[in-house]
Amino acid sequence: MMSFAPRVFLLAAASLALALPAQAAAKIERVVSPGGIEAWLVSDSSVPLIAINFAFRGGTNQDPAEKPGAAYMAAAMMDEGAGDLDAKAFQGRLERNAVEMSFSAQRDQMRGSLKVLRDRKDEGFDLLRLALTSPRFDQDAMERVRAQMLSALRRETTNPSDIGSRLWWRTAFPEHPYGRPTNGTLESVPLLTRDDLRDYTRRVFARDRLKIAVVGDIDAKTLGPVLDRIFGALPTKAELQPVPSAKMDAVGKRLFVPLDVPQAVVNFGGIGIPRKDPDFIPAYIVNHILGGGSFSSRLYREVREKRGLAYSVYSYLLPLDVTALFMGGTQTRADKADETVGLIESEIRRLAESGPSDEELEKSKSYLKGSYALNFDTSTKIASLLVQIQLDDLGIDYIDRRNGLIEAVTLADVKRVAKRLLDGGILVTVVGRPQQDKAAKQGG
């Protein structure tokens, strides 16, 4: 442990120091291993660090209908022992070599990452290979993770943000995998077995559904064999269950859950625009004007600055594999929840009907182009962004083209797309103290 502390400091410092400008990040190489595994590489030797980010298509949407939480538990178990190393031995190897490894289960993907110093890369690569190809899922480690999951789920039963989010998703998609909690339920988590986790990783961890990005002190010639070394033993083809197209229900409804908390939590959302749709970039600008622009957005100005109803209010676009959503939220005093929701709905309608002004469009375009460089200030951010570009199938030159796509958007474009995006209505959930609220009481 005496040698571990300096290495952790160096790893953290290296991660922050590898802040490549957009121009450097745009120098992306497509690397194909001898075994045919593809990765996108940004090579930079100025800092002795290598970051790998990857994703398998097939996330919590692959959970058994009666056992939500399987993918989430599998992600939590991936560094709890692999090969001939139990959880303690595996974690010890990670710590001694200052290797950072993580996995996360999202609705459409299982994502993972590795960050390792150059002089410890072989240890890091081997540990990642073991985790992906030979996870142990030992019962003692599984029971410990299960207890942690159940403890978190019990806390969620009294957390207004979690209550509201769960109600929103199960109401919007009642018969679809998207409607199930990604981290499971108090009923489903106790039912999960080692076989469930093994079945999930066997079906999902495959090379044909894998996207990889590598950033740091490694060149293309070296990376090719490394890709085979880490990922080459995975199955060639995934065995995913088909995910049906998701049609959002309950648009136009407002649901209320009584809960004795200081502030009411509001979640809202409606039908969005798919990522590959030609209207996505104009919709991205429209959302920035409405609620994605922090201190400059219409919602912030009307809800906070003018009326002081909330500390923050926001909106965002959420394109998923089989649907696309427009989402947002805020927190406010219980006795002001109705007024706040009414104001949000009014601003959405106003923008849908009249569209943005020319000044709003130009300011948003300027901000969105200039702020893009913030995605390139660490190796981990760059690698994650490159994986997302691959998942979205935007092309290896997207970083070079992106600002031009924004600049090309006209006032006519955003007026038309504002109506398309915002004119369909929203589903709203409110969790807070009971008031003389017009919302329908739905319970938790």
Q: What is the mean pLDDT of residues 102-129?
A: 98
Homologous superfamily of domain range 254-441 = Metalloenzyme, LuxS/M16 peptidase-like (3.30.830.10)
Domain 4-231, CATH 3.30.830.10 — does that match? yes
Backbone dihedral angles phi then psi of residue 397, each to the nearest 5 degrees: -95, 15
pLDDT at residue 435 in the model: 66
- Indicate the pLDDT class of residue 41, thresholds 50, 70 and 90: very high
Average pLDDT, the chain: 92
pLDDT over 80 at 7, yes or no: no
Torsion of CA 227, 228, 229, 234, to 10 degrees: 110
Q: State CA 150 to chain mean position distance.
A: 22
- pLDDT tens sequence across 43-97: 999 999 999 999 999 999 999 999 999 999 999 999 999 999 999 999 999 999 9
- Indicate the pLDDT class of residue 152, thresholds 50, 70 and 90: very high
8 Å CB contact between 63 and 75: no
Which tokens hold the place of 155? Answer: 């806390």
E strand or H helix at 109: strand 109-117
- Indicate the pLDDT class of residue 295, thresholds 50, 70 and 90: confident
- Indicate the pLDDT class of residue 128, thresholds 50, 70 and 90: very high
Same fold? 4-231, 254-441: yes
8 Å CB contact between 54 and 387: yes
Q: What is the mean pLDDT of residues 229-233?
A: 98
C-alpha span between 352 and 308 (Å, rounded): 24
pLDDT at residue 342 in the model: 97
Q: What is the mean pLDDT of residues 420-425?
A: 97
Instruction: Provide, rounded to the nearest whole percent, the portion of the chain with pLDDT above 90.
Output: 89
pLDDT over 60 at 260, yes or no: yes
Instruction: Provide, rounded to the nearest whole percent, the portion of the chain with pLDDT above 70.
Output: 92
- Indicate the pLDDT class of residue 25, thresholds 50, 70 and 90: low
- pLDDT tens sequence across 178-207: 999 999 999 999 999 999 999 999 999 999
- pLDDT tens sequence across 317-340: 999 999 999 999 999 999 999 999
Domain borders along the chain are 4-231, 254-441
Q: What is the mean pLDDT of residues 269-289?
A: 98
C-alpha span between 410 and 358 (Å, rounded): 9
pLDDT over 80 at 11, yes or no: no
pLDDT over 60 at 438, yes or no: no
- pLDDT tens sequence across 206-226: 999 999 999 999 999 999 999
DSSP state, 293? S
8 Å CB contact between 384 and 53: yes
C-alpha span between 232 and 253 (Å, rounded): 49
Q: What is the mean pLDDT of residues 144-166?
A: 98
Q: What is the mean pLDDT of residues 167-186?
A: 97
Q: What is the mean pLDDT of residues 366-379?
A: 93
pLDDT at residue 293 in the model: 75
pLDDT over 60 at 443, yes or no: no
